[in-house]
Amino acid sequence: MERFPVLLKNEILKGLPGTDVQWEMASSDRLAKYFPRSPGPDARAASVLILLYPNNGSVYTVFMQRPDYKGVHSGQISFPGGKQEKSDENAVRTAVREAEEETGINPEEIIILGTLTPLFIPVSNILVNPVVAWIDKKPAFSHQVEEVVFLFDADLRRFYDPSIIRTRPLTIGSETIDVKYYDYEGNMIWGATAMILHELLVILRRGGFFPEE
């Protein structure tokens, strides 16, 4: 586990699986021919932090549930993150700043390992930059109650169990779509979060971190 962050950083540098792999966890609306894959010039930048850490002999990451509000991502499970501010010099800074606010992590304790393929979210016109980071031990999380309902950590090894990948209809506004998602202990991880997570899982499997059993 001691060499995990170095090895993963090198594996990311070898090349990213890319958009096609992300879309293997896409919901039915994204698969429609008209659905845009690329952002326009008015799209806003955002970042999420995929924070990895050792726990119980495996590698874990942390997710958060957003509160209910009048918006397209109301109540969804996501990685910590948010929109880029003018004071942020880059995508990494955005991810770290937002994660510090939402989970209480100490930025000085984390190591940035790299970034994954940016993912465009048309419904909110946002281009999300996933940032992968490592911390040597599980943080003492403390969530920001205004922006986070709860935090939960998840063992990445369990996402390789095909039985937790499911599909169900979900009505959003006036449209019903078939949602492909990870069911992690009753938490529904879908949409952009599932797509970003899937690319990371492919990289980890490619690098032999979680070999097929």
How confident is the model over 49-102, as pLDDT tens digits? Answer: 999 999 999 999 999 998 875 555 467 899 999 999 999 999 999 999 999 999
Say if residues 62 and 141 touch (Cβ distance below 8 Å): yes
Lowest mean pLDDT among 12-21, 169-178, 187-196: 169-178
- Measured CA distances, 127 to 41, 185, 195, 208 (Å): 11, 29, 13, 30
Q: So what's the pLDDT on residue 39?
A: 85
Using the predicted structure, report yes or no on whether residue 176 has a pLDDT greater than 80: yes
Domain 4-25+35-161+189-206 has CATH 3.90.79.10: yes
Residue 26, helix vs strand vs coil: coil
Q: pTM of the predicted model, to two decimals? A: 0.93
Which percentage of the chain shows pLDDT scores above 90?
A: 76
